[in-house]
């Protein structure tokens, strides 16, 4: 299709690369989140999040080609995610979104991204504590 998607409107691959790179920089330094990640190398996890977000916002569908249906709640089942983990994840994501300049990400697009992340993080909780 030739339709311009949200992915295109916010600068495509470069923007999603910046976003997830900054997000995982924050995760690497976060004492709540870092211990949850099974691998020493956060690179592969960063790539999976980037592919997922690119696909969700209308970019390449590489995520599903490699990983199948996202089933994100199921894939997070091994990790206890309560309000503390949700808040830590959102803090990292807010920092990452905040690092994208206003030219690339105007207010309406920024708002849509933040709203989605807050909804998604809320829905990933699988523990009351
Ligand atoms: C995977 C933690 C929320 C998207 C993971 C992994 C952890 C984790 C530990 C495994 C790392 C790996 O891929 O090797 C958390 C925590 C969250 C959270 C603590 C707190 C709410 C989210 C949200 C999204 C997301 C809101 C999407 C917007 C993903 C994706 C993967 C992943 C796409 C890789 C799934 C796959 O295996 O293909 N997450 N996550 N996560 N997370 Fe999260």
Asked if residue 111 has pLDDT above 90, the reply is yes
CB of 71 closer than 6 A to ligand 1?
A: no
How much is the pLDDT for 2? Answer: 74
Q: Which residues of 13-23 are buried (b: 16+ CB within 10 A; e: fewer)?
A: eebbebbbebb
Q: What pLDDT score was predicted for residue 52? A: 98
**Domain residue ranges of the chain, discontinuous segments joined by +:** 6-123
Distance CA 122, CA 92 (A): 15
Alpha carbon nearest to ligand 1 atom 39, residue: 76
Distance 76 CA to ligand 1 centre (A): 6
pLDDT tens per residue, range 39-95 = 999 999 999 999 999 999 999 999 999 999 999 999 999 999 999 999 999 999 999
Task: Summarize the confidence of residues 106-113 as an average pLDDT.
Answer: 98
pLDDT tens digits, one per residue of 79-106: 999 999 999 999 999 999 999 999 999 9
Above 80 in pLDDT, residue 1? Answer: no
Dihedral of CA atoms 23, 78, 129, 34 in degrees, nearest 10, equals -30
Domain 6-123 adopts which CATH fold? Globin-like (1.10.490)
Residue nearest to atom 8 of ligand 1 (CA): 76
């Amino acid at each position: 299709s030739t339709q311009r998607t949200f992915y295109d409107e916010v600068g495509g691959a470069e923007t999603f690369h910046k976003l997830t790179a900054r997000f995982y920089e924050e995760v690497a330094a976060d004492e709540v989140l870092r211990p949850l990640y099974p691998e020493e190398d956060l690179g592969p996890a960063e790539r999976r999040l980037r592919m997922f977000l690119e696909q969700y916002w209308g970019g390449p569908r590489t995520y599903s080609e490699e990983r199948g249906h996202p089933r994100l709640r199921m894939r997070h089942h091994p990790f206890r995610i309560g309000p503390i983990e949700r808040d830590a994840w959102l803090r990292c994501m807010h920092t990452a979104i905040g690092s994208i300049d206003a030219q690339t990400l105007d207010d309406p697009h920024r708002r849509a991204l933040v709203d989605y992340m807050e909804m998604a993080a809320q829905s990933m909780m699988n523990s009351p504590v």
